C-alpha cells in the first residue's frame, strides 16, 4: 500500500512539478505517537499505584496490566498507521480534483492529465479495496468487539468504586480507557468517510 501511494505521488510530481503537502499527515503521526505515549505513562503510573503491595501477587497482576496496555499501544499504533494511509489517499484524491479544475491554467496536456487521473484513481481504489480493507477491516471489527467488552468491564468496575470516596481515580481511569479506544475507532471511521466523499467527487 505504501509503495502504491508513493508511486502515485511520483506520478503527480511528474505531471505538476510540485510535491503534495503532507504536513497534516506528519502532524497526525506526531499526535498519535504523543497521545499513545502519554496515555501509556498515565495508565502505567495508575496501575502501579493501584496494585502496588508487598505481597507476591503484585508482580502477576502488574504483568497482566502491562499485557493489556501493550496490546492497547500496538492497536493504537496500527490504527494510527491506517489513519495516516487514509489521509494520504484523501490528499492525493484532493490533488486529482485540483489538477482537473486547474488544467488550463497549468497548461497540462489532456492526455497526460487523463492518464495520471485514471492511473492514480485506480491505484488508490486498489489500495483501499485490496490492501486496507482486507488487513484493517478485521482488525477494526476485532477492536470494536474488544472495546464493547472493555466498556462493560469498566462499567462494572466503576459501579464497585462509585460509592467509595477514594475511588475517584478508578472512576476516571475506567472512563478514560474506553474513551481512548472509541477515539481510535472514530478517527478511522471519520477518515474513511472523508476518503469515500473524495472518491465520489473524483468519479
Q: Provide the grid cell at 149.
A: 467488552
**C-alpha dihedral, 22 to 28 to 30 to 36, nearest 10°:** -160
170 vs 18: CA distance, rounded Å = 52
- pLDDT band (50, 70, 90) for residue 105: low
pLDDT of residue 160: 62
Nearest residue to 68 (alpha-carbon basis) of 159, 173, 141, 171: 173
Residues with Cβ within 8 Å of 80's Cβ and at least 6 positions away in sequence, in order, are 28, 29, 32, 33, 36, 184
Confidence of residue 166 (pLDDT cuts 50, 70, 90): low
How far apart, in whole angstroms, are the C-alpha atoms of residue 98 and residue 102? Answer: 6
- Evaluate if residue 165 carries a pLDDT over 60: no
Residue holding cell 503527480? Answer: 12
End-to-end CA distance of the chain: 21
Per-residue pLDDT band at 168 (split at 50, 70, 90): low
More confident residue, 41 or 129: 41
Instruction: For residue 15, give the nearest of 80, 111, 82, 93 by alpha carbon.
Output: 111
Angle at the Cα of 56 from the Cα atoms of 54 and 58, rounded to 5 degrees: 70
Amino acid at each position: 500500500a505504501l509503495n502504491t501511494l508513493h508511486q502515485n505521488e511520483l506520478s503527480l510530481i511528474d505531471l505538476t512539478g510540485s510535491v503534495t503537502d503532507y504536513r497534516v499527515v506528519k502532524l497526525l503521526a506526531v499526535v498519535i505517537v504523543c497521545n499513545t505515549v502519554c496515555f501509556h505513562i498515565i495508565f502505567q503510573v495508575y496501575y502501579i499505584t493501584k496494585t502496588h503491595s508487598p505481597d507476591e501477587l503484585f508482580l502477576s497482576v502488574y504483568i497482566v496490566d502491562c499485557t493489556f496496555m501493550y496490546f492497547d499501544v500496538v492497536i493504537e499504533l496500527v490504527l494510527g498507521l491506517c489513519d495516516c494511509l487514509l489521509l494520504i489517499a484523501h490528499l492525493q484524491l484532493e490533488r486529482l480534483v485540483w489538477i482537473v479544475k486547474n488544467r488550463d491554467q497549468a497548461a497540462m496536456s489532456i492526455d497526460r492529465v487523463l492518464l495520471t487521473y485514471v492511473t492514480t484513481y485506480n491505484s488508490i481504489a486498489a489500495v483501499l479495496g485490496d490492501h486496507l480493507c482486507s488487513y484493517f477491516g478485521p482488525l477494526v471489527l476485532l477492536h470494536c468487539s474488544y472495546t464493547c467488552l472493555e466498556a462493560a468491564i469498566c462499567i462494572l468496575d466503576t459501579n464497585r468504586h462509585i460509592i467509595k470516596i477514594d475511588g475517584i481515580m478508578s472512576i476516571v481511569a475506567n472512563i478514560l480507557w474506553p474513551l481512548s479506544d472509541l477515539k481510535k475507532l472514530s478517527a478511522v471511521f471519520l477518515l474513511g468517510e472523508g476518503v469515500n466523499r473524495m472518491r465520489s467527487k473524483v468519479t
